[in-house]
Amino acid sequence: MADRSWWSSRFLALIEGMSPPEPLRAGRALARTEAVLSVRRSGNLVVAMVRDQREDLHKTRLAVRTFGDTDWGRIERALASQARYAAALLAGSMPPDIEDAFALLGLSLLPTRADDLAMDCTCADWQRPCAHLVAACHRLGESMDLDAFALLALRGRERDALLTGIRRLRPASASSSGGAQPYVWSGGWPQVAAGQPGGGTTDETGEPLPSSPSAFWSAPVSAGGSGVRSEDHGPARPDILLDLCGPLVVEPLGDLREELRPAYRVFAGRRGSAPRPDGAVEE
């Protein structure tokens, strides 16, 4: 398969590396001739029906070692704490460096050893994986190409359960770094989420928040109301409002503040270049 994903390629490399040369060649030939009639997965168990060259039908079974609930709790917290992992998974794709998150926990997303797998086939061949198992794993790899979450399911966590856990942990993970209450995007100016302290008009320190995006660009007023302009104290950071408002959680993408920072800088630059009546831009 020309466009095979990295995760299915690595999975097949492990299976084929365990297979003796003759069953490996025969299994690849069976996969090319569509001898695998069906592949069904239930949890970490995959059952396939394979017809060999003599038209005999064989039942193959493959089971992958799963992580326990404790390890999956650690994995979900690690994935939820990183916006890039959470955003990709919630959008239905596999982050290219997701293995790094597992490695930091001392775990491996993909099976790495023979004892990570259990294999069985009804054929008389004593070698495992036999040709029928090799062919079945090729078909399994194709299904994994179409559904990246199949690999995570083989390791013990189905798609819905994983995404539910990440959604549950994301607001807590995002707010724990900055201490601000989470905000939700309501289609306009960010407002404090319902039920959160702050009332929608102040930040977590009790200071008033701007009532609109344009108000953010106006000069700050000192405590004495003297109207000191921002340039008297050096230029303000154009994206500081993103830090004041706290996490902007938008499902399924997670916290969007880092994605919005470049736009704030662009808006600030355009505001600093006012057009003159003759159409030129005043420096």
Least confident of 183-187, 241-245, 279-283: 183-187
Q: Is the peptide bond before 21 cis (omega within 30 degrees of 0)?
A: no
Distance CA 25, CA 69 (A): 39
Question: How many helices (H) and strands (E) are present in the chain, helices listed first?
Answer: 11, 8
Least confident of 54-58, 124-128, 130-134, 233-237: 233-237
Work out the angle at residue 212's Cα, subtended by the Cα atoms of residues 206 and 215, and round it to the nearest 5 degrees: 85
Give bridge partners of residue 192 from the DSSP assignment. Answer: 183
Label residue 130 by pLDDT band (50, 70, 90): very high
- Per domain, the residue ranges of the chain are 6-165, 179-271
Count how many Cα atoms sit within 13 Å of the Cα of residue 94 in the half-sphere of its side chain: 21
Q: Tell me the per-residue pLDDT of 134-143, one tens digit each, with 9 for 90 and over.
A: 999 999 999 8
- pLDDT at site 176: 47
Dihedral pair phi/psi, residue 65, rounded to 5°: -65, 130
Distance CA 24, CA 16 (A): 6
DSSP annotation of 192? E
Q: Tell me the per-residue pLDDT of 181-236, one tens digit each, with 9 for 90 and over.
A: 343 333 433 343 444 444 444 443 444 444 443 433 333 433 444 333 334 434 45
- pLDDT at site 71: 96
- pLDDT at site 31: 92
User: Amino acid letter at 114?
Assistant: A
Name residue, tokens 């921002």: 230
User: Amino acid letter at 33?
Assistant: T
Q: What is the pTM of this model?
A: 0.59
- Cβ–Cβ under 8 Å, residues 163 and 90: yes
Distance CA 242, CA 262 (A): 11
The side-by-side arrangement of strands in the sheet containing 45-51 is 36-42, 45-51, 57-64, 117-121
Name residue, tokens 């190409």: 145
CB-based contacts of 71, cutoff 8 Å, min separation 6: 105, 107
* 3-state secondary structure string across 197-227: CCCCCECCCCCECCCCHHHHCCCCCCCCCCC
> How confident is the model over 106-123, as a mean pLDDT?
91
* pLDDT tops 80 at residue 69: yes
Label residue 258 by pLDDT band (50, 70, 90): confident
